[in-house]
Structure formats: C-alpha cells, structure tokens
Amino acid sequence: MRAVVTSAPPGEVGVEDRPDPAPGAGEVLVRVRAAGINNADLIQAKGGYPAPAGAPPDILGMELAGEVAALGPGASRFAVGDRVMAIVGGGAQAELAVVHERAAMPVPEGLGWAEAGGFPEAFTTAHDALFTQAGLGPGERVCVHGAAGGVGVAGVQLAAAIGATVVATVRNPSLRAAVEALADGVVAVAPEAFGRLGPFDVVLELIGGPNLPEDVAALATGGRITVIGTGGGAEATLHLGALMGRRARIHGSTLRARPLEDKALAARAVESHVLPLIAQGRVSVPIAATVPLEEAAAAYARFAAGGKFGKIVLMP
C-alpha cells in the first residue's frame, strides 16, 4: 500500500510503499478514504512526538475514515463494508490502516468522507477536554483559544451546543467572522482581548505557556483551565495564590498516549453526544482542502503555513 511517511530531512514527508497491515485480535482493517492532518503530525514529522507503542512508527496520521475491509479475530462491532472513523496512534495516512473496533465509531449518514476523515481527532479532543476533563455545563462561560484551528472549531461548536456562552480567540482577523458563524452567540476576538470578556468558568487552552497567567486571572470562582496544546510554549508562570483564591484547577491532557480503554471511553462519549448533533445539523466539520494522498508534501506545507479555516484532509 501507499503511505505518508516521515523521511529525512526532519520536517519533510514523503509517500512510499509499505506492506499492507493485518488486523489483530479485536481489530478491523480499514480501506482509508480520508485522513485529516493535525498539528501532532507536523510535530512528529519533525521528530518531536513519536508514535506510541503498537502504532506504526513511521507512517503519519492520527485520524481516518473509511470502509471496513476485513475483520481480525474476534472483531464483532462492525461488518465488512461498514463506514467507520477513528483516532489511531499512528498510521492513518495510508491506503489501509488497522483500528481496534472499540476505538472506531460509525460514520453518520450524510457525513461525507472528507468531513468524516477530519472529524475524530479534533472533536474527540475538544469533547474530552471540555466535558470529561473540565466538566463544562450549560449556562457556563467558556473561552476557546486558537478557535480557528481544528480543535478550536470543534470546541466552539460543542460548547455552544450544550448552552454555554462562547468567547473565541482568533489571531487572524480575517477568520473571526467564520468562527462567529459556527454557532449563535459566539464572540470572536483578538487573543489580547479575551481577559476583558471574563470571568470564565472554563478555558480551553491550545496556545500554552504565554496565555496561562491571564487565563488564571480571567477565571471565575471554581473555574477550570484545560491545556491541550502548547504551540506558544510549554513553560508557564503560575500564581498559586490566584489559583487558590478562585478555587480553580488546571488540567493537562493528551489523547494520543492513552491506553485503548481510555480511547474507547472517549469514543463512546463522542458517539453518544456528538454523532446525534451531526445528524441534526448542529455541528459541522469545516474543510479547507482535500488533497490526494500522493500530494501529501504539499498538503503538509499548506497546513504548516496556517491561515486556513477548517481541516486539510488527505484522500488516498
């Protein structure tokens, strides 16, 4: 099969032939139709974020959608030909990939391949961070940093869908209108302006260290910050007195390194909560571009350049 692989020099990706994978116990083999590109892929291509044990070490890609092509021993959740989508530890950007059946979700009717291939990583990450980690509830006020990115777009829509009030920070002024159009009542502002719009019950932090002091200062009593990205830097200054006075907490989280049981739980939560929202048309997956798998290098370059709104999805 053809696959997007890391190759020297660091930061460059290529498309090469690799042996077809075979599904193990409880796994399904998926003929990949679409596989989104994520920040973590970019970091991995630069050598900074190795795939977890058990995942293909050199084939990129953390999310995919496609048809079940074969069942491993004992796999029973899906039949050959079913449309599935999933987060994987690696190896998604290829013609074929193996997925544990407990980590896979059905693709809702009406969701196209590109949208399905760009859905799992961002929406599962945002759902886990907002609801499972931070416990966001209806009527709360949430700030989503980096809201024009994949996880941000997901977070804005999910928070609005449960009746939270959303303030979104977006560095690129030309993307703010698109973020505000994601759901009723969303206010998109420059990153420098969010503090005035607090206090916030929840802050979804995708930028990292530089934001943390102002995040804490803008928290309401009982507020929660969930840090799921550190693109702006991983070192932060934390004023413990400010945290104590607000009786607040800071979560750090990643999805990729979790064991199968945790990933399966996250997938079940998304299945039961988010898939119906897609069917109702209340949540959508904006797509910036679809790119043939063979042109992966160009797709990665476009992803790295930023300034886009929506996912860039490789189509094997």
Where does this chain bind its own copies (CB under 8 A)? 133, 208-209, 212, 227-228, 230, 234-254, 257-258
The minimum distance between CB 224 and its own copies, in angstroms, equals: 9
d(CA 57, CA 65): 20
* Cβ closest to its own copies, residue 257 vs residue 260: 257
Measured from the CB atom, the residue of 38 and 157 that comes closer to its own copies is 38
190 or 242: whose CB is closer to its own copies? 242
| Least distance to its own copies, CB of residue 203, Å | 13
Around Cβ 89, how many Cβ atoms within 10 Å?
23
Nearer to its own copies, 258 or 282 (CB): 258
Could you tell me the smallest distance in angstroms from the CB atom of residue 133 to its own copies? 8
Q: How far apart are CA 309 and CA 147, in angstroms?
A: 10
- Taking the complex as a whole, how short is the minimal distance between the CB of residue 22 and its own copies, in angstroms? 30
Q: Which is nearer to its own copies, 34 or 206 (CB)?
A: 206
DSSP labels for 248-300?
Answer: -EEEE--STTS-HHHHHHHHHHHHHHHHHHHHTTS----EEEEEEGGGHHHHH
Cis peptide before 9 (omega within 30 of 0): yes
Inter-residue long-range contacts of 183-192, CB under 8 Å, 24+ positions, other chains counted: 183/156, 183/157, 184/160, 185/160, 186/156, 186/160, 188/147, 191/145
Rounded to whole angstroms, how far apart are CA atoms 273 and 154? 13
Least Å from the CB of residue 260 to its own copies: 14
As measured in angstroms, the least distance from the Cβ of 77 to its own copies is 26
Give how far Cα 39 sits from Cα of 99, 136, 260, 298, Å: 21, 25, 22, 15
Which residue, 86 or 248, is less far from its own copies as judged by CB? 248
Output the smallest distance, CB 210 to its own copies, in A. 11
d(CA 175, CA 259): 36
Is 270 in contact with 102 (CB distance < 8 Å)?
A: no
Give whichever of 46 and 77 is closer to its own copies, judged by the CB atom.
46
Give which of 203, 219, 165, 171 is closest to 187, Cα–Cα: 165
Pairing of strands 141-144, 165-169: parallel
